[in-house]
Amino acid sequence: MDLDTLLSFKWSVMAPEFIILGVATLLSLIDLFMKKESSRKPLAWLAGAGVLAALVAIFMQLDLEVTSILYDTYRLDSFSKAFKILLLLGTLLVLVLAASYKKEDIEENRGEFYYLLLSALLGAMMMASSADLITLFVGLELLSLSSYIMAGLERRNKRSNESAFKYVVSGGIATAITLFGISYVFGLTGETNLFMIAQNMQEPELLKHGFLLMFAFIIMFAGLTFKIAAAPLHMWAPDVYEGAPVPVTAFLSVVSKTAGFVILLRVIIITFIAAPGINSDNILLQVQPYIMALAAATMIIGNVTALRQRNIKRMFAYSSIAQAGYILVPFVSNSSLLFELIWFYLLAYLFMNIGAFTIIQILTAQEKSNDISIFRGLFKRSPWLAVPMTFFLLSLAGIPVTAGFVGKFGIFMGALGLEPAHYWLAAVMMATTLVSYLYYFNVIAVMFFRDGEGAKVSVPSGMAAILAFCAVSTIVLGVMPDLALDFFYGNFDINEFFMNIEAVDTHTH
Amino acid sequence: MNTWLLSILIFSPLLGVLVLMFIPSHDEKSIKWLGVLGTLFPLGIALVVLSAFNIAEEGLQLAERFSWISYEVFQSKGEVKYPIFYEVGVNGLSMVLILLTAVVSVLAAIASFSIKQNWKSYFILFFLLEMGMLGVFAAQNLFLFFIFFEITLIPMFFLIGRWGYLEREKAAYSFLIYNGVGSAILLIVFVALFMKTGTMNFEQLAYTLSLPQAELNQLFITKGFKMGMLIALLIAFAVKLPVFPLHSWMVRVHVQAPPAIVMIHSGILLKIGAYGVIVFGAGMFPEQFKSLAFIIGLFGVINLLYGAFLALTQTDVKRVLAYSSVSHMGIVLIGLAAVNESGMTGAVFQVVSHGLISALLFFLVGALYDRAGSSELSAFGGVAKRMPILAGIFLAGGLASLGLPGMSGFISEFMAFLGLFEKMPVLAAVGTLGLILTAVYVLRAVLAITFGAEKDLHKADDLSSSERIPAFVLLAAILFIGIYPAWLSDMLRPTLDAILLGLGG
């Protein structure tokens, strides 16, 4: 690649990534030159400003046509825009949450936290915007490595250390599994570009190797589900969620999970959409039982285990495993519902989960405990915390007039939509949702029905802003989901997702 | 034509919520009076709606329809739209139930004067509950129905769990889980119907489902699918009604919830089950409904007898009434199973009549509990001497419950059984045994309380003036329907005729 080609690319499409990269670099430099004892709080605002600028940049790109540079290793289509908005929004909220984080332990490392968060975000954004297995993998690793360090940020906290270590080890295994699967795909098709892979999948020669393809699919899928904490690779989540500082937990459960779904959609749907499985039938139809079993297992394990948790962070870890199970259900829907349902659910999930984690953060910091009893009598002590928390819990449980309900309703539409309708999967989802009522309502019961001693809880203004924003969004999206859906339909074109413009380009050159 | 009347009615309880927000939570008196005013306002609007409602006219009235949510789906067939509308409207049946809701809510708000603490959050939840109930009956599509249906669950959970008696939390959980199962099944059915037909509107659905089978096959709606949907619907509403063996939660709620909430629960919320069976079951799957009629009737008779037998052996008057509700809901099923005009009319009459009677009886039980600190039958005796008015109304309520002619209970039981005798005489004959049992357990409970040796009560005042209003109003309504049933049957006739037409007469 010579300089002319390099300059001929439309680099402007990468503006959001450049902003994040620039701010992250700047932060690491400033951190280096700041006095050791001076507060790192200004860095949070700088990081926040960077994320906000990137968000604005994405909104300015909304009208752009699908563009691809660097031979499809970076591509800007409506899919990447739609999901990058989620990633940036999630990170922005996590940043505000972190800026109000009062724990003394983290103070000395604060600078690191901010630029690690941004580099993780950069990895996630690359995952949303790439159509090449190599860059997708690099993005995934950038996200993972940054997350490993963030999980261990509280150096003097044993649990934090333990969680980081567990995360690294299990994350490494998952990466190995993913790579193993990718090696099969590469071996069979000789390509790393997703569109070229999809094209080569049609080769008659491959019809003989349906079994191998199926094997590759299952291995790759399994490896990639690590990030979304789906069974059977979910074991890391409770330990990591419990040990990591709350802002990191919020980031892992929302942004990192979103990125996990993004890469699943990209890799799985583009490459395997027309691939032959055993007996040369469509592979995506053939693996449906496998995906369904995985989703069902995730929902069951997550919800049933959450029942037994007394530790609120562990409970939310299992809850977020269960939620990942719900979001896996649309993968069997065979229609464009797949994208809109996952997008909407992740949006709803972003608000309700970050909102809930904010309250968990406030309470665990004040009471120095993670037990559910810290919620005792919260309604009497601080109604302005108890009421939003109730909204978030109701939304997580999927009760109407909240965004979570609309999300779940949509997922049902996906499961019961095209023939054959997946009644038993819907039934499993409904049954596990009922199980989830027990532990979500248990928190509500503790807040409203029990008397609590404990002092009045003080809420920093940054957190109050997050709470208000998340609570309002949860309700507004529950009452008027069209606000988000219209935006999605207006800016998302499923054809762009499958459009291989690189192939067109090479022909014209 | 869009008038805003119905929407104003549905959301009118929110005005109460709004006003309450600005009242300091320790100001007991203002909160309680605002609680009553807040329910009077919807009642006033309900009366306006009633005056705008044309009894003679068939079909939906005062309908409103706005676009709400639209899903666009690309699939192999191309782009398909799945629109969801906000649509409300009333027909005769829902008009009657809306009126019932508005009236019972006012009276329950008055009964709520006996609530001892946290009045502000109590009434806020109370208003939300009322909004949910009004919405359920006015909703004209599955989505909206489901949303309002669920809206009633959450305030109920709090109202039982926070203000109930000793085992309130257990009762709240069993309420939540049982009803959760019901609404879970409901949601699956609703979404499945939506995805197959592309509409959620009641009328359009009924029309689509009545298309010839050849056309339905193109939509992948087979006979088996319809039957499956109907059975799932019946199970879902059987939880709500409740039908034996899914009734245990309801007994628990009736025993543990505060009396004012039980008035609402037994008076209106249980009726959503009956309403659902009529509108969705008989209205949308008439053929399948007819083929299941015997089983429905059988469950009706089982409910009637089982409830009556258990009511006979209870020592707590709340439990007597709870099982009596189980028993009386059996009569609704019996009427529906008849699948003819008198049976259907009887079922709906029973819905309304039992709504009034059980509200009255639970109100009086609440008043008795205030005086004795217990609701065990053995705690009472000779109430008639010290509190003649309370005892008199209690007796009158009991007589209405056992179906004394001249009161609303008689008309409904008579019609329901008349209908069933026409179709399934043997089953009906077995069922009539239940009526005898009813007389026995009602009189046993009433007599044990009102007559006999006088027991010490810590407060032995007769009904106070604020207690008399609900009691007299309910009794008057019971008598009115008993003496002049034509008013109610005129309201219901067009709606029931339409459903019967679908059922094939």
CA angle B93, B157, A370 (to 5 degrees): 150
CB of A69 within 8 A of CB of A11? yes
Nearest to A434 by CA among A300, A294, A292: A300
Write out B95-144 in H/E/C secondary structure.
HHHHHHHHHHHHHHHHHHHHCCCCHHHHHHHHHHHHHHHHHHHHECEHHH
Report whether pLDDT(B483) > 70: yes
Tell me which residue in A394, A417, A494 faces B195 most closely, judged by beta carbons.
A417
Report whether pLDDT(B447) > 60: yes
Q: Using the CB atoms, write b or e for A220-253: b if 16+ within 10 Å.
A: bbbbbbbbbbbbebbebbbbbbbbbbbbbbbbbb
Q: Suggest the residue from A437, A443, A447, A491 to mutate for an interface test with chain B (most B CBs closer than 10 A).
A: A437
Residue B50 burial (CB count, 10 A): 16
pLDDT of residue A103: 54
* Alpha-carbon dihedral sign for residues A213, A214, A217, A223: negative
Q: What is the Cα–Cα distance from A247 to A109, expressed in whole angstroms? A: 14
Nearest to B209 by CA among B292, B278, B145, B282: B282
Q: What is the Cα–Cα distance from B176 to A434, expressed in whole angstroms? A: 9
Report whether pLDDT(B270) > 50: yes
A429 to chain B nearest CA, in Å?
10
Six-digit token string for A458: 């003080």
First to last CA, chain B: 32
> Which A positions 281-320 lie with beta carbon below 8 A of chain B?
none
CB of B65 within 8 A of CB of B467? no
Report whether pLDDT(B399) > 70: yes
Model pTM?
A: 0.92
Burial class, B215, CB count within 10 angstroms (exposed 0-12 / middle 13-18 / buried 19+): exposed
- Beta strand B78-90 with B61-75 is antiparallel
Tell me which residue in A400, A405, A421 faces B192 most closely, judged by beta carbons.
A421
pLDDT in tens, chain A (509 residues): 677 777 777 788 888 899 999 999 998 898 888 877 777 777 888 899 999 999 999 988 888 777 878 777 888 888 888 999 999 999 999 998 888 766 554 555 567 888 899 999 999 999 998 888 999 999 999 999 999 998 888 777 788 888 889 999 999 999 999 999 999 989 888 888 888 888 888 887 777 777 888 888 889 998 998 888 888 888 889 999 988 888 899 999 999 999 999 999 888 888 887 777 676 677 788 888 888 999 999 999 999 999 988 999 999 999 999 999 999 998 887 777 788 889 999 999 999 999 999 999 888 888 888 888 888 888 888 888 999 999 999 999 999 889 999 999 999 888 887 767 788 899 999 999 999 999 999 999 888 888 777 677 778 888 899 999 999 999 999 999 888 888 888 887 777 777 776 555 544 44
Report whether pLDDT(B255) > 70: yes
Q: What is the Cα–Cα distance from B325 to B251, expressed in whole angstroms? A: 9
B85: β partners: B67
A487 in reach of chain B (CB within 8 A):
no
Six-digit token string for B422: 């026409």
Name the phi and psi angles at B242, rounded to 5.
-100, 160
CB of B368 within 8 A of CB of B390? yes
Q: Suggest the residue from A376, A434, A446 to mutate for an interface test with chain B (most B CBs closer than 10 A).
A: A434
Which positions in chain A touch B158 (Cβ < 8 Å)?
Answer: 448
What Å distances lie between residue A351 and A268, A412, B51, CA to CA? 27, 21, 45
Q: What is the Cα–Cα distance from A138 to B305, expressed in whole angstroms? A: 71
Kind and range of the H or E run holding A233: none
Residue with structure tokens 């509200």? Answer: B359
CA atoms within 13 A on the CB side of B366: 31
B196 to chain A nearest CA, in Å?
7
pLDDT of residue B387: 84
Q: Where are the alpha helices (DSSP H) in B257-387?
A: 259-264, 270-276, 283-284, 286-291, 293-313, 317-338, 341-372, 383-386
Tell me which residue in A400, A410, A434 faces B184 most closely, judged by beta carbons.
A434
Q: Across the interface, do A434 and B177 touch by the CB < 8 Å criterion?
A: yes
Q: Using the CB atoms, write b or e for A425-437: b if 16+ within 10 Å.
A: bbebbbbbbbbbb
Q: What is the Cα–Cα distance from B16 to B27, expressed in whole angstroms? A: 15
Of residues B61 and A342, which shows the higher confidence score?
A342
* DSSP state letters, A251-298: HIIIIIHHHHHHHHIIIIIIHHTT-B-GGGSBHHHHTHHHHHHHHHHH
Q: What is the Cα–Cα distance from A208 to A383, expressed in whole angstroms? A: 64
Which region among A18-27, B61-70, B306-315 has the lowest average model confidence (pLDDT)?
B61-70
Nearest to B166 by CA among B310, B369, B368, B323: B369
Which positions in chain A touch B82 (Cβ < 8 Å)?
Answer: 413
Q: What is the Cα–Cα distance from A364 to A368, expressed in whole angstroms? A: 5
Six-digit token string for B381: 């005796």
In which region does residue A280 sit, left (phi positive, over 0), alpha (psi from -120 to 50) or beta (all else)? left
Q: What is the largest CA-CA distance in chain B?
A: 79
Nearest to A316 by CA among A398, A254, A224: A254
Six-digit token string for A58: 């994405």
CB of A251 within 8 A of CB of A91? yes
Residue with structure tokens 């009545």? Answer: B210
Write out B417-453 in H/E/C secondary structure.
HHHHHHHCHHHHHHHHHHHHHHHHHHHHHHHHHHCCC
Q: What is the Cα–Cα distance from B234 to A287, expressed in whole angstroms? A: 35
Q: Across the interface, do A412 and B191 touch by the CB < 8 Å criterion?
A: yes
Nearest to A393 by CA among A354, A438, A445, A356: A356
CB of A320 within 8 A of CB of A354? no
Query: pLDDT tens for residues B114-154?
Result: 888 888 889 999 999 999 999 999 999 999 999 999 999 99
Write out A165-176 in H/E/C secondary structure.
HHHHHHHHHHHH
Nearest to A15 by CA among A48, A47, A62: A62
Show me where the domains of chain B are located: 292-505
Nearest CA in chain B to A439: B173
Q: Across the interface, do A448 and B161 touch by the CB < 8 Å criterion?
A: yes
* Alpha-carbon dihedral sign for residues A454, A455, A459, A464: positive
What Å distances lie between residue A297 and A288, B21, B147, CA to CA? 14, 44, 28
Beta strands in A46-88 (DSSP E): 67-69, 74-76
Which positions in chain B touch A481 (Cβ < 8 Å)?
Answer: 69
Q: What is the Cα–Cα distance from A389 to A372, expressed in whole angstroms? A: 13
CB of B195 within 8 A of CB of A421? yes
How much is the average pLDDT of B307-312?
A: 91
Q: Interface pTM (ipTM) of the complex?
A: 0.90
Six-digit token string for A17: 């990534």
* Alpha-carbon dihedral sign for residues A217, A219, A224, A230: positive
What Å distances lie between residue B371 and B358, B367, B457, B481, CA to CA? 20, 7, 6, 31
Of residues A99 and B94, which shows the higher confidence score?
B94
Write out B177-211 in H/E/C secondary structure.
HHHHHHHHHHHHHHHHHHHHHCCCEHHHHHHHHCC
Six-digit token string for B426: 């043997």
Q: What is the Cα–Cα distance from A21 to A23, expressed in whole angstroms? A: 6
Beta strands in A6-161 (DSSP E): 67-69, 74-76
Q: What is the DSSP code (8-state) at residue B265?
A: I
Q: What is the Cα–Cα distance from A131 to B476, expressed in whole angstroms? A: 75
* Alpha-carbon dihedral sign for residues B258, B260, B263, B269: negative
Chain B residues with a Cβ under 8 Å from any Cβ in chain A: 68-76, 82, 121, 143, 146-147, 150-151, 153-154, 157-158, 161-162, 168-169, 172-173, 176-177, 180-181, 184-185, 187-188, 191-192, 194-195, 220
Which positions in chain A touch B147 (Cβ < 8 Å)?
Answer: 400-401, 405
Burial class, B55, CB count within 10 angstroms (exposed 0-12 / middle 13-18 / buried 19+): middle
CB of B294 within 8 A of CB of B424? yes
Residue with structure tokens 């706005």? Answer: B66
CB of B363 within 8 A of CB of B344? no
Q: Suggest the residue from A282, A379, A449 to mutate for an interface test with chain B (most B CBs closer than 10 A).
A: A449
Six-digit token string for A147: 């997350």
Which region among A471-485, B16-30, B375-389 has the lowest average model confidence (pLDDT)?
B375-389
